[in-house]
Structure formats: C-alpha cells, structure tokens
Amino acid sequence: MGQKVYGNNRIFCNGKFIAGPDVKSCVASTLMILLPSILWQIEVGTFFAERYSIIFPIVGLLTQVGSLVLLFATAMSDPGIMPRQKHFQEYYDSKSKSFRSRQPPRYFETIVRGHPFKVKYCATCNFYRPPRCTHCSVCENCIERFDHHCPWIGNCIGKRNYWLFYSFIMMTGALNVFVLATSIAQVAVVCQEIADEEMVGSGDALLSTVGKVPLAAALIVYDAAVVWFTVGLCVYHNYLICTNQTTYEQIRGFYGSGNPFNKGILANCQDVLCSRVRRRYFNPSTNRILWPSVTAASGGQDARDVKLHEPTSVSISDAVPADNQQVPPMLQEKRYDPETAKTLTYTELCEAYAGRYSRDETRTYWETTMTATH
C-alpha cells in the first residue's frame, strides 16, 4: 500500500497518484467491467464480426478500454485535497506577543450572490472551509467542491476529478447499453434461425438458443441487472450538472431558497465539465506548496508552514462578509455600492482562509488584497 498523506489518503509513485484508503474496492469494479467485456468479445463480438462487420467488436473494445482507463484515472487522482495547516496553538500572534490559546469561531457568515452562506472552521484541517468544500469522513481530508466519496472507486470525487468521474460513468453506461443491445440482438437472430430451421415455436427456439449461445444469454441477465444503476447514475449526474449542484448538496437540500452557483444550463455545463483544471495545491510526496503562489521566502517550505501570498491567478470573489447585511467599511471607503459589492466573487477570501485562522486576520488579508487590486 502507498504512503499516507495527511488523513487517510494514499500516494503512489512519489506523489504522482493519490487514492482513497479503500482503493482496493476498485478491484471489484474492475472485475465487474473486465469479465463481462471478455465474455462479450468471445461470444457476441465474434458473432457480429463474422456475420456483419468488424466495427462492432472494435466499438466494444474502445468503450471497454475507455471505461477501465477512466476508472483507474479517477481512482488515482487528487480530488482537490486542501492543504492542512498547523494547529492554531502553534501560531504566534505578533500583536499580543503570545501563542494563540483560543480556536477561531466555528462559523463565519457571509453572503454569496445575495444568498446567506455559512463558512465553517475545520478543527481537523485547521482552516475555514471555502464554499462547497467538505471534510470527507473516509479520507479525513477537506475536499474542494466535494461531491461524494465513491465506494466503487475508492476515492473522493471533487473539483479536480469530477470530470473524470463523469466521463467514467457515461462511458460505462454506454458500454452497458451497447453490450445489452448487441447480446439481445444475437439471441434474437439465433432464435429466429432455429425457429425457421427446426420449425418449432418461439419458446422451444428460445430454449435451444440459450443452450447454443449461453454467454450471450448470461450477458443479457447481468447487464439487465446493472444497466438501471449505471444509466440512472448518468441521468442523475446530468441533472446535477445542469443545476450546478453536487451530490452532497442535493442530498442535504442546501439550496431550498435558491442556488447562488446556478448560472443556467449552458454556463453550468461549461463551469463543471469544461473549466480548466487547476494544478494541485501541494506536492503530496514532499508537502511543498504548488498553487497558488507563495512568497519568495517560503520557497521549498512545508505546505503546513506556508502563508498565502496575494493570489495572481484568482479573481475577486462572489461574496462579502455579512456584518448585519451591511457593506464592510473598507468597501465603503473604496466607494463600492452594495449592489456592486454583492457581485464580487468569494474565491480570494477563501484563499485567505487556507492560510489564516482568525476572522480578524482573514479580514485584514482581504482588505489588503482589495486595496492592492483596486
């Protein structure tokens, strides 16, 4: 088993691959795809290649290999693990000239595009979680845009690997439908031939067909049992993408009063599936911070020691802190009206959370960044 990183996640090949603690369950999923695929090539693929065209086994092979490759890619990818920070008691407060003795407030209320939103302090990872970030109880890490922990893959599904997971379930759903349809077609063709040659009824012909092409019959039973799950999963995640929700958010009913992240179907699809995948926050093998940029003096430091520098690749965000629903003084000083303030994005404030542990420090960081930016 690979080396552990932070919580229960495992790393392989010097940090190139990251998997969950239950990655062995991926073996069962592999067998559930691989064995039927081999049987299909032996029986159904050969039948269609001889009778009709070599295209059928080629299409089958491409979908089978594609499904397995995407399975492994999802299982061995970083879902968006947020770098842990040191315990708050390990940080020295230069103002009070003492080490911190109190944990930061548990919640921090903000407004995201006009909707109230609570940011929670994670006592395990020691930072305020950005919106849509959740601590996985299996991996014991905070995952950016957490969707769910998949027991079939043995890894979390988050911002960085959701597109891989979505591609995997779509490919597997297409494979199930293709195998089921071609297996039914073979049984139907052979059954009709037996009925015509032996002059028997359809029931007797079907029994003879099952004896003649048992692998095709077995594939029909197997795929009929699993196709509802895979296709249903495809439909469900297409719905989530169109509404810009995660599985975790939809099950918990987070957005009963309106989803602040919903931009419309086309924009949601663009955001979830086609947006650029950022690089990892840190190298899991060395714990060195990789993104966003850090101060020059911190080059080569452990990710737990790094204090975030003013982000260069992040835009100012979707919300402002909710202090009695008023615009913060620094926004007033910069002459931002409330409506303009509400359109600011939340990303930069969250980046500050990744390296700060108190409300005051976070506010100071945000004010500094806003002043430098504007």
CA distances from 293 to 90, 125, 298, 351 (A): 23, 20, 10, 11
Does residue 217 contact residue 248 with C-beta atoms inside 8 Å? no
Say how many domains are in the chain.
2
Average pLDDT over residues 104-130: 81
- Residue 145 in any domain: the answer is no
Nearest CA-CA partner of 206 in 189, 221, 219: 189
- Residue 24 in any domain: the answer is yes
pLDDT at 111: 77
Q: Return the percentage of the chain with pLDDT > 70, whole number.
A: 74
Does residue 183 contact residue 223 with C-beta atoms inside 8 Å? yes
Q: What's the rounded Cα separation, in Å, for the pair 73 and 161?
A: 9
CA distances from 333 to 179, 310, 369 (A): 65, 21, 14
Q: How is 302-339 classified by DSSP, letter by letter? A: BTTT--BPPPSS---BBEEE-BTTB--HHHHHTT--HH
Beta carbons within 10 angstroms of residue 123's beta carbon: 13
pLDDT classification of 287: cutoffs 50, 70, 90: confident
In whole numbers, what is the pLDDT of the chain averaged over residues?
77
Asked if pLDDT for residue 165 goes beyond 90, the answer is yes
Q: Would you say the C-alpha torsion 204, 206, 208, 210 has a positive or negative sign?
A: negative
Q: Which domain holds residue 368?
A: 86-115+308-374
Q: How is 116-163 classified by DSSP, letter by letter? A: EEEEEEETTTTEEPPTT-EEETTTTEEETT--EEETTTTEEE-TTTHH
Asked if pLDDT for residue 304 goes beyond 60, the answer is no
- Residue 129 in any domain: the answer is no
Same domain, 257 and 204: yes
CA distances from 125 to 55, 134, 143, 352 (A): 52, 11, 11, 14
Which tokens belong to 356?
Answer: 């700060």
Q: What's the rounded Cα separation, in Å, for the pair 81 and 289?
A: 12
Average pLDDT over residues 161-173: 96
Specify the pTM: 0.75
Highest mean pLDDT (candidates 3-17, 83-97, 216-230): 216-230
pLDDT in tens, 229-243: 999 999 999 999 999
Same domain, 168 and 214: yes
Beta carbons within 10 angstroms of residue 197's beta carbon: 10
pLDDT at 144: 92
pLDDT at 349: 44
- Residue 152 in any domain: the answer is no
Asked if pLDDT for residue 364 goes beyond 70, the answer is no
Asked if pLDDT for residue 217 goes beyond 70, the answer is yes
Same domain, 62 and 177: yes
Asked if pLDDT for residue 310 goes beyond 80, the answer is no
Q: Which has the higher per-residue pLDDT, 370 or 258?
A: 258
Same domain, 222 and 180: yes
Q: Which has the higher per-residue pLDDT, 364 or 235?
A: 235
The domain boundary residue, chosen from 228, 253, 272: 272
Nearest CA-CA partner of 137 in 282, 246, 7: 7
Asked if pLDDT for residue 324 goes beyond 90, the answer is no
Q: What's the rounded Cα separation, in Å, for the pair 121 and 279?
A: 24
pLDDT classification of 3: cutoffs 50, 70, 90: low
Name the amino acid, one letter, at 374.
Answer: H
Q: Return the percentage of the chain with pLDDT > 90, whole number.
A: 41
Asked if pLDDT for residue 330 goes beyond 50, the answer is no
Same domain, 193 and 209: yes
Q: 329 preceded by cis ω (within 30°)? A: no
Same domain, 109 and 76: no
Q: Which has the higher per-residue pLDDT, 133 or 350?
A: 133
- Residue 298 in any domain: the answer is no
**H or E segment and range at residue 4:** strand 3-5
pLDDT at 110: 78
pLDDT at 2: 55
- Residue 206 in any domain: the answer is yes
pLDDT at 181: 95
Label residue 33 exposed, middle or buried (CB < 10 Å: 0-12, 13-18, 19+). Answer: buried
Least confident of 10-14, 34-38, 147-151: 10-14
Same domain, 198 and 330: no
pLDDT in tens, 27-49: 999 999 999 999 999 999 999 99
Contacts of 369 (CB under 8 A, 6+ apart): 310, 311, 316, 348, 352
Q: What is the DSSP letter of 281?
A: S
Average pLDDT over residues 194-209: 82
Q: What's the rounded Cα separation, in Å, for the pair 10 and 218?
A: 37
Of 142, 150, 156, 234, the active-site residue reads: 150
Highest mean pLDDT (candidates 1-15, 211-225, 291-305, 317-331): 211-225
Half-sphere exposure of 78 (CA within 13 A, CB side): 22
The domain boundary residue, chosen from 272, 295, 328: 272
Same domain, 320 and 213: no
Q: 292 preceded by cis ω (within 30°)? A: yes
Active site residue 150: yes
Quote the distance between the C-alpha of residue 365 and its chain's center. 29
CA distances from 179 to 54, 64, 166, 230 (A): 15, 10, 20, 13
Same domain, 193 and 246: yes
Same domain, 247 and 164: yes
Same domain, 9 and 77: yes
- Residue 61 in any domain: the answer is yes
- Residue 111 in any domain: the answer is yes
Asked if pLDDT for residue 288 goes beyond 90, the answer is no
Same domain, 52 and 201: yes
pLDDT at 109: 81
